[in-house]
Chains A and B, each alone.
Chain A
Amino acid sequence: MTTDQQRTGTVFDIGYQSYEGTREGRGLAWKTLVIDGVKNGMGIGRGGWAKFLPWLVLSPTILTGLVFAAIAAFFEQLGFDVEDTEGGLPLDLPGHLELTAVISFMILIFAAFIGPELVCPDRRNRVIHLYLVRPITLFDYLGARWCALFLLLFAASTLPHITYWVGLLFGVGDALGHAQDNWLDIPRFIGYSLVFATFTTAVSIAISSITDRRMIATLIIIGIMMIASIAPGIISIFNPSDSVMELLNLIGLIDLSSTIVPSIFFDTYSENYDLNIAIPIAWMVFLTVGSIAATWRFYQGQR
C-alpha cells in the first residue's frame, strides 16, 4: 500500500547540462533536411489540408499503374494473349511509354504544388536565415531541398511503372516468361524517371525561387507549362515546315517531358521524329542546368 509519505517526491533542477556527446558533420544536416523536405512535401506531421493536396495529385498516378495492370489481368482471365499484340489480336494494351504519357502531366502538377512547399515557406518565414548560420553552406541547404523534391518526383514517376510491371507479372499466366520478355522496361522507366525527376525538380525549384508565396509559385509553374505547351500550336497557324514545327514542339514542356524524352528511352524516337536526337537531349540539359544555375544565382543574391 502506498502511503502519503511514499508519494511525496522532490524534483531537482539539475541546471544547465553542457552537451558532451559527439557532433556529427554536414552529412547529418543533409539527411535531416532531406527527410524534413520529404515530410513537408507530403504533409507528414502536419494538418489534414497539407496532406490532402499532395495525395490528391499523387494518388491518380499510382492508381493509373494499378488500373493498367488490372485491365491486363482481366483480359488475360478472359483468354486474350496480352503479351502478343503484334499478330493483329483485338487487344492492344498500352505499354510503359503510354503510361508515361498519361502520368507525366499529373507529376508535373504534383511538382508545381510540392516544389514551392519545400522552399517558399523557408524564405517567407525567414527560417532560411537560421539554417545558413548553422554549420552548413548554402549549397548544403539547397542541395538537400533539391534532393527531397527529386526523391518525391522520382518515386511519383517510378511507382506507377513498378505497379504496372509487377501487376502484369501477377496478372499474366506465365510470370517468368513475362519477366524475361519485359525486363528491359525496368532500366528504361528508371532511366526516364531519373531524367524527368531531375528536369522537373530543377524547373520547379527555380520558379519557386522567384516568390516566397507558395500558391503564386504554383500558379506560375502551371502557367508557364500551359503557355509553353500551347505556344507551338499557336505558331503552327503560320504553317511552318515540319522540321521547324518539330523544333518548336520542344518549347512545350509537357510534350517534351511526357512524349519526346520518353520516346528516346523507349527506343521509339526515330519512328516518330526526324529531328536529330541530340537536339532534344541538349535542350533538356540546357533547361535543367539553366534552372539550377538560376536558382543558385538567386539564392546567392538573397544572402
Chain B
Amino acid sequence: MTAFAQPSPLLEARDLTKLYGNVQALDSASFTVGEGITGLLGPNGAGKSTAIRIFLGLTDATSGSALVMGADARNPEARVRLGYMPEHDCLPPNQSAANFLTHMAEVSGIPPSRSRALAADTLRHVGLFEERYRPIGGYSTGMKQRVKLAQALVHDPVLILLDEPTAGLDPTGRTDMLNLIRRIAREFGISVVLSTHLMQDVERTCDNIVLLDLGRVKESADVKTLTQETEFIFVEVANNRDQFMAELATRNIQHDLESSAISIPDVDGPKFDAIRDSLVASEARLVRMGPRQRALIDLFRT
C-alpha cells in the first residue's frame, strides 16, 4: 500500500538537460506545473516530448532533475498518481475497453475488487459506457482517443499528461475532446498537462502555458497574461480603405495594414477622435474597431 502525499508543484524541472549524442533536446530547462490545465507548447524539436518522457521515467536526464509531486521522476512510486495519454496508437485491438481498463487499473495498484467498477465509471465519464464490451479494434478514431484518455484516468491520478490528444480528430471530435479535457480539470479536479503544437487548442483550454523552443523555456505564464489586450487598436472597414489610410496619414496617425485590418498603436483620447474624423472624411463604412488581443502564435514570432 502506498500513502501518497500531494505536494505542490505537480511537476518541477530544475535545469533539465538532455543530450542525444550531439543533439541537445533540453538545455537547462527550468519550469513548474501547478494545478489546472497547462499547455506544453513548442514547435517540433522544442523538447516537449523529451520533457514528458523524463517526467514519465521513460528516459533519464543528462543533468538536472525532474520532480513529480515532489518525488524523483525515476522512482516508480512517482507515477502512482500520474496518468499518460500518448499521441500514437497504443491499444490492444482484440480486448474490450472494459477489460483493458480493468487490467490497467490493477497494474496501477488498484485492488481487483475495485478496478472493474472504476473502469466502468471512467468509461462512462468519457462517453463509452454503452460500448465498453466491444473489442477496441472496432472503435472509431474518436472512440480510441477516448479509451486512451480513459486508461490515463482509470487509477484516479492527480495529474495527467496528454500528448496531442486531438490528433486525427475531425472538428466536432476535437471540440468534444477539448470539452472533455476541460471537464476533467474543472469537475474531476484532475490537473492536466496538454502537450500540443495547436495554438487554438491551448487558447481554448489551458490556464497556463510553458513554451519551449530549442530545448529552452521561452515563456512560462498564465494564458490570460499572454493574450491580454495590447495598446493596439484594430480597425476594419468595408470600403474606401485606401482613402481611410490616407486620411489617417494626413492626421499624422501611425498605422499598419495587417491582412484586411489596419492596426494603430498607442491609441489615446485625441487619437480616437482623429480615427473617427478619418472614417467620416473617407466615407469608409466601419465593420469592426477594437483593442487587439495578442495571440499565442505571436509568442513564436518574437
Contact = CB atoms under 8 A, between A and B. Distances in A.
Interface residues of A, number: 34
B261 interface: no
Interface in A89-135: 121, 125-127, 129-135
Given A15-B187, A22-B1, A132-B58, A32 B106 contact: yes
B45 interface: no
A36 interface: yes
Given A29-B107, A130-B84, A133-B58, A46 B89 contact: no
A282 interface: no
A134 B79 CA distance: 6
B90 interface: yes
A140 B108 CA distance: 12
Contact of B155 (A19, A26, A131): A19
Given A15-B187, A21-B114, A135 B109 contact: yes
B90 A125 contact: yes
A17 interface: yes
Nearest to A140: B76
B290 interface: no
Contacts of B86: 126, 129-130
B116 to A, nearest CB: 13
Contacts of B58: 129, 132-133, 303
Interface residues of B, number: 42
A228 B80 CA distance: 46
Interface stretch (B29-37, B92-100, B222-230, B276-284): B92-100
A46 B4 contact: no
A136 B91 CA distance: 19
A129 B163 CA distance: 13
A127 to B, nearest CB: 6
B259 interface: no
Contacts of A134: 79, 104, 107-108, 155
A99 B222 CA distance: 72
A24 interface: yes
B168 interface: no
Interface in B59-84: 59, 76-80, 82, 84
B88 interface: yes
Contact of A19 (B76, B103, B110): B110
Interface string A17-45: 11101111110110011001000000001
Contacts of A15: 187
A16 interface: yes
A36 to B, nearest CB: 6
Contact of A130 (B77, B151, B189): B151
Contact of B156 (A19, A46, A135, A303): A19
A287 to B, nearest CB: 31
A137 interface: yes
A293 to B, nearest CB: 21
Nearest to B93: A125
Interface of A: 15-19, 21-26, 28-29, 32-33, 36, 45-47, 121, 125-127, 129-137, 140, 303
18 contacts: A15-B187, A16-B125, A18-B188, A19-B118, A21-B110, A21-B111, A22-B111, A24-B2, A24-B111, A25-B109, A26-B109, A28-B112, A29-B106, A29-B107, A127-B90, A131-B107, A134-B79, A135-B79
